[in-house]
Structure 1
């Protein structure tokens, strides 16, 4: 406990850990937990050049392709490699959650809680010039940060971003030949269709978006008919569509065939497994921790939200597709309990083995086939991962 005292964790938080069966010593490992980066695809040949520029050796992770570790206190934000979009910071455990999706060429992927955007970028990086990614987040400012990342790393060509409630979002991917431009040629004579995206949108569209934000701010979200589209790439399937076509709804039966191939639900949580996040409360103030992590009412509402996010993500998954559910909480209530309840309510859901995990430095969760990362076991931040497939029933 001597090392733990360096973080000055309050008694209330230590009580929270004890109530949830969590070992406080995981927070002592923060000083020895490496930082991680991922090289953007195609940058591997510049590895030595990047090392020379940042004056630090990048240690390749043998268990996760494209990832490298750095000393715990190393900062990448001021490096040219980071500013030029050659590397981006993402914890290895988060990278493992994306890897568990097993994204394949041509997949249409839904990232249901997309902010802050590192996993979104990784998915797009893997897809390359195929498929599409739909990113959804309820917080507009956080999704706008995702948009900035996409532009910085030049990864937005096949992506569309919607400000929406992930528990009710209902748009399926545009299953077209996104390279052919067929949707454009077929609809080019229509008025009021989506043109090439620009940060300077037409007055009518800006007014519509402002009205939607005003409704949301005053609690009138139900009056906002459609999710707000804040970004779309040239090959995202949006250009050439009318609004009615973009927001066309499909019934649950149709989703079985036209839904997403892969869905990532990295759900909102208490973040108690993110040791660096918890460490920040020393600066933010422990009263903030009390409100955001320890409050029992908030935890109860979070588990309800997590179950709804998981259920809706699964609803939008096509039969035979894969969904990964993850949180950076280490509590059973936000992980295994949510998974257990979800399986009871969804007969077509089946947990899958994560094939790549046999080489990962993690341990099994309390439910077979689920995984847990933590600083002491994995030398990463804490993360829970479960993978599902949808059966035809």
Structure 2
């Protein structure tokens, strides 16, 4: 009986998708693991002594993820959204593979970090967690409504103090990290009437609201020529006390070697075929939609072009000696190893590094040395490709 139920839960994958898996050296059984793949949460630092209380509330034992500090596994059917721990920001959902990608950045206190494709925001929250009380994090996404969701998460979990969020094209974003001001109030008195940015408020000026309404009405798409739109900044993100011209000043590419970010995460847009739950949704959406969103060669080609541009621009914004992590939730070689190869061939300052923390991680090696792959069978996580680069001075 149990075998019959398990068989019924397996998606009847179409032949075209099975061919796609074969081309990429993938076992279809990856997509049959949703019933046994746990969901993961991260416990906000400082609440370690509340674990028993959280377990009693959700009526479930939290299983510590030994290879990833701060993470806990839950049965996939356990709901946390209605728990006080979730509503009060003590825990938040993030897949362990995504946590591994952030861990690969080796974030230290005082780092200035760029999350170039920040939505939906779980990695952004983890980055903010790791920074603690120093440094800064800049979140960028081309989608205003998805980035607004990131803003909501940061506020809910009280993690936005060092953060600023820009709606912008990640392939052309060029703003350097704002070195955190030790006393924003003193800067306000010095700059006097020239100060543009005071403490952030959700209440926008009338002109901004009118412009946003016009954009929504016309369905306008953000172009690479538009200035990044600052939709949120924490009090200690370095924005308070600056004029608009100071915030939006531009630099020559060579200046990013000293003025750039210490760490950059490029979790690029992809076909999402590494997400088991995402692929299983096509049973309801129709496999024709899968053909258009995942298997279509033209879409795949456009995505790899975008991914390479995002990786290239993220690396341009990295300071000398800095670290960049590139990741996708796709299993395809074209969106992962091939993008990595093209990037390395085009930038002599880029060096692919081994991820030291991964020594005990349950994952496979990618087809390019020092790259990693997570999947439901090997890792008990969603699928994820991870590559780590350092910026050399030549």
TM-score category by the smaller chain?
over 0.9
- Report the counterpart of residue 195 of structure 1 in structure 2: 198
CA RMSD of aligned residues (A): 1.9
Instruction: Judge conservation of contact 1:364–1:371 (CA < 8 Å) in 2.
Output: yes
After TM superposition, give the deviation of residue 223 of structure 1 in Å: 5.6
* Shift in Å, 1:313: 0.2
What's the offset of the Cα at 1:80? 1.6
Q: Distance in 1 between matches of 2:225 and 2:323?
A: 33
2:99 equivalent to 1:99: no
Partner of 1:323: 324
CA distance in structure 2 between the partners assigned to 1:179 and 1:287 by the alignment: 57
The residue matched to 1:122 in structure 2 has which SS?
helix
Give the unaligned 5+ runs of structure 1.
none
Please name the residue that 1:371 is paired with.
Answer: 372
Q: Pairwise mapping of residues 237-386 of structure 1 onto structure 2 (< 5 A)?
A: 237-386=238-387
Distance 1:186 1:67, change over 3 A: same
* Aligned residue among 113, 116, 121 for 1:112: 116
Distance 1:183 1:392, change over 3 A: farther
CA distance in 2, matches of 1:142, 1:377: 31
Aligned pair in 2 of structure 1 residues 53, 180: CA closer, same or farther (>3 Å)? same
Measure the CA separation in 2 of the matches of 1:333 and 1:32.
Answer: 29
- Rounded to whole Å, the distance in 1 between the matches of 2:355 and 2:222 is 41
**Post-superposition offset of 1:213:** 6.0
Say if 2:223 is the partner of 1:221: yes
SS at match of 2:237: coil
Q: Quick one: distance in 2 between partners of 1:218 and 1:180? A: 35
CA contact (8 A) 1:93 1:381 kept: yes
- Displacement after TM superposition at 1:265 (Å): 0.2
For residues 50 and 376 of structure 2, what CA distance do their matches in structure 1 show? 30
Structure 2 unaligned spans of 5+: none
What's 1:143 paired with? 147
Partner residue of 2:158? 154
Q: For residues 117-136 of structure 1, what are the structure 2 equivalents within 5 Å?
A: 117-136=121-140
CA contact (8 A) 1:183 1:237 kept: no
Q: Report the secondary structure of 2:330's partner residue.
A: coil
Partner of 1:162, secondary structure, is strand
Deviations 1:118-174 (A, max 9, x none): 000000011111110000001111101101101110111111111111000000101
Q: Give the SS at the match of 2:193.
A: coil
SS in 1 for 2:102: helix
TM-score (norm 1): 0.95
Q: TM-score, normalised by structure 2?
A: 0.94
Distance 1:237 1:20, change over 3 A: same
* 1:209 to partner: Cα distance: 4.5
- Residue deviations 1:9-63 (CA, integer Å, cap 9, x gap): 2222222212222211101112111111000111111000000111100000111
Q: How far 1:5 moved relative to its partner?
A: 7.3
Count residues with an aligned counterpart: 390
